[in-house]
Amino acid sequence: MKIAIFTDTFAPQINGVTKNLNRLLNYFSVQGIEYLLFAPESESRTESIFEKNVVRLKSMNFFLYPELKFTLPNYLKIRSKLIKFNPDLFHLITPFNIGLTGLYAARQSDSPIVASYHTNFNQYLDYYNINFLEKAAWKYLRWFHDQALRNYCPSEETRKELAEKNFINLDIWGRGIDSNLFSPEHRDSKLIKKHGLEDKISILYVGRIAREKNLSLLMDSFKSLNQKYSRKIKLIITGDGPELKSLKKEAPDNVIFTGFKKGRDLSQIYASADIFAFPSVTETYGNVIIEAMASGLPVVAITAGGVKENLLNRYNGLAVKENDSAEFSSQLEQLIINDHLRDALAHNARRYALEQSWDHVFESLDKSYQQVIDDYTRVYGRAVSKNII
């Protein structure tokens, strides 16, 4: 099986989509599945084990979101690579310029198409005050995804939302966790001492520092808790993004900014904290939720979007039903003052995460790919890449 993948975001960019893509490519390599991935060029790109199978396309920063890339794909270059590779299936990861080019190439070659839906775009439009584009955005997204024989959603909640918007061919491509990388065993006494956490309850956020992550609510909640517990608590914020500078300006003294972390360094930060706080309401899944649970942290999060899939109230965390800083503070406070509750939810969080396997997730996706190829071939016959024009 040969898969052509088109994405407008990839390493070294760090987000949920790129992390999952890296895991998928690793699975392809282990299973001997051939792939060719088209992605934006990046000035800070470093070579990786996947790079030999990646076609980089010239790009520039997107004016609304500097860390995203705007690409003007060189179609002659793409066409040449596709003819040589001769893919069995096109997987469109994003619906932007590179994804659109992949759609065009697939249709020109009469090849089967699958697509992914990763981002809650309408809520992003709200956060960036351009929600007047919402109607047009949904119309475009429906048109784009209507071309695919499968549209993979990261959660059942997302699938339901898209079904209500009249999207078709919806399926689930779930998420898993590496329970060895993210584990309570990585708790690090040196890290705890470095940040002065020995006698504190530490509340952790991991993710992009961006407006759509709703970090103003987390900061307001923490400031409220500080009125009673300033000597007992610390907030750790791990990540980077366009709002980092402004967030630092409003942060009280007991907030620690670690910057972006990955690999073992990230695992140690998770495992060395006590509570995971996640205020975002724009997640289609929320990878960091399951990473925190695997690390043995109870989660306090707003039950919006894909977060509902994994946050089981009073089992592996505490759910906040409204986008309200007072309720968020109240749920955090329960875990600050009640050691028994915090420990019980932490135990259950780890137990729950152990049941989420990446192997199962990718095996299901592999079977779905093969079914799409087989069904398409049975109806239309084998696509021939040299038809790409």
CATH number of the domain located at residue range(s) 2-176+357-387 in this protein: 3.40.50.2000
Which pLDDT belongs to residue 363?
94
CA dist 246 and 264 (Å) reads: 28
CA dist 50 and 282 (Å) reads: 29
Reported for 374-383, long-range contacts at CB under 8 A and 24+ positions apart, including other chains, are: 375/149, 376/112, 376/149, 380/110, 383/88, 383/109, 383/110, 383/111, 383/112
Residue range 266-286, pLDDT digits in tens:
999 999 999 999 999 988 788
pLDDT band at 172 (very low <50, low <70, confident <90, very high): very high
Which pLDDT belongs to residue 128?
67
**Which residue spans of the chain are classified as CATH 3.40.50.2000?**
2-176+357-387, 184-353
Q: Is the pTM of this model over 0.85?
A: no
What is the token pair recorded at 174?
């779930």
Which pLDDT belongs to residue 386?
47
- 91 close to 362: Cβ distance less than 8 angstroms: no
Which pLDDT belongs to residue 68?
62
Neighbours of 196 (CB within 10 A): 12
Dihedrals phi, psi of 272, to nearest 5 degrees: -95, -5
In the predicted model, is pLDDT for residue 40 greater than 70? yes
Which pLDDT belongs to residue 308?
87
Name the one residue in this structure whose structure tokens are 């890296």: 22
In the predicted model, is pLDDT for residue 64 greater than 60? no
If we measure between CA atoms, which residue out of 283, 284, 279 comes closest to residue 324? 279
Residue type, 70: F
- 87 close to 1: Cβ distance less than 8 angstroms: no
Mean pLDDT estimate for the chain: 91
Residue range 189-209, pLDDT digits in tens:
999 999 999 999 999 999 999
Question: Which residues neighbour 217 within 8 Å (Cβ) at sequence distance 6 or greater?
Answer: 279, 323, 324, 325, 328
Straight-line distance from the first to the last Cα atom of the chain, in angstroms, rounded to the nearest whole number: 23
| Beta bridge mates, 65 | 62
Residue range 122-169, pLDDT digits in tens:
666 666 677 788 889 899 999 999 999 999 999 888 899 999 999 999
Residue 41 half-sphere exposure toward CB, CA atoms < 13 A: 10
The CATH class of the 184-353 domain is alpha beta
CA dist 182 and 18 (Å) reads: 18
Which pLDDT belongs to residue 261?
96
